[in-house]
Amino acid sequence: MSLQDKVVIITGASAGIGHDLAQHLAKEKARLVLAARSEDKLQHLSDQLSAGGTDVLVVRTDVSDPNDLNDLVEQTIDRFQRIDVLINNAGVECFCHFEDVETDEILQTIETNLTGAIVLTRLVVPHMLRQSSGAVINMASTAGKLCPPFGGVYGATKAGLIGFTQGLRGEYLDRGITATAICPGFTKNGGIYDRIVKATGKKTSTALGGTSTKAVAAAVLKAIHAGPPEIIVNWPPMRPAIVLREIFPRIGEMLTTAVSKPFLRRAADMSTQEKNAAATGNSDQPTA
Ligand X SMILES: NC(=O)c1ccc[n+]([C@@H]2O[C@H](COP(=O)([O-])OP(=O)(O)OC[C@H]3O[C@@H](n4cnc5c(N)ncnc54)[C@H](OP(=O)(O)O)[C@@H]3O)[C@@H](O)[C@H]2O)c1
Binding site for ligand X (CB under 6 A): 11-18, 36-38, 61-64, 89-92, 112, 139, 141, 184, 186-187, 191-193
In the bound state with ligand X, the residue whose beta carbon lies nearer, of 61 and 121, is 61
What is the Cα–Cα distance from 38 to 250, expressed in whole angstroms? 43
Smallest separation, CB 100 to ligand X (Å): 20
Q: Are 89 and 12 in contact (CB under 8 A)?
A: yes
Smallest separation, CB 213 to ligand X (Å): 7
DSSP code of residue 11: E
In the bound state with ligand X, the residue whose beta carbon lies nearer, of 60 and 129, is 60
What is the Cα–Cα distance from 86 to 109, expressed in whole angstroms? 20
- HSE, side-chain direction, 13 A CA sphere, residue 60: 7
* Chain centroid, CA 46 distance in Å: 20
What is the Cα–Cα distance from 165 to 182, expressed in whole angstroms? 10
Residue type, 257: T
Active site residue 154: yes
In the bound state with ligand X, the residue whose beta carbon lies nearer, of 62 and 274, is 62
Residue 173: name the closest of 229, 130, 221, 117 by CA. Answer: 229
Q: Are 58 and 46 in contact (CB under 8 A)?
A: yes
In the bound state with ligand X, the residue whose beta carbon lies nearer, of 203 and 275, is 203
Catalytic entry in 80, 95, 150, 154: 154
Residues labelled as active-site residues = 154
